[in-house]
Amino acid sequence: MFQGYLTPHQKCSHCELNFETLNADDGPAYIAMGLVCLFVVPFFFIAQVLYEPPFWLALVISLPLTLGIILGLLPLVKGAFMGALWKSRT
Ligand SMILES: [Zn+2]
């Protein structure tokens, strides 16, 4: 579906569906950030209460983990978002 990290092909290789009309804009980014905030932030609050890690350790663990989860989730969310856009038009 994607030719780069988030750049969709011009059309589907199977059914010739034109992907250029499915413009997702910033929607997938908002959804990915919302999902991460919903699940990751409470996890870190609980870890803070249970283990009380030093601030630098919490930063060293949480920043790359949060960034990695968002970047890993973004193509999946964009694909789902484009599918929802396509479904809402048909
Ligand atoms: Zn197709």
Q: Where along the chain do its domains lie? A: 19-89
Using the mean position of ligand 1's atoms as its centre, give its distance from the Cα of residue 87 in Å: 13
Q: What pLDDT does 86 receive?
A: 93
35-84 pLDDT, tens digit per residue, is 998 988 898 899 999 999 999 998 999 899 999 999 999 999 999 999 99
pLDDT at 41: 86
58 within 8 A of 44, measured Cβ to Cβ? yes
Q: What integer pLDDT is reported at residue 88 of this predicted model?
A: 92
Q: What angle do CA 53, 55, 31 make, to 5 degrees?
A: 95
Centre of ligand 1 from the C-alpha of residue 52, in Å:
50
Dist. CA 11–CA 19, nearest whole Å: 5
Q: Give me ligand 1 centre to Cα 81, in Å.
A: 15
Spacing, Cα 75 to ligand 1 middle (Å): 17
| Reported pTM | 0.81
Q: State the pLDDT at residue 21.
A: 87
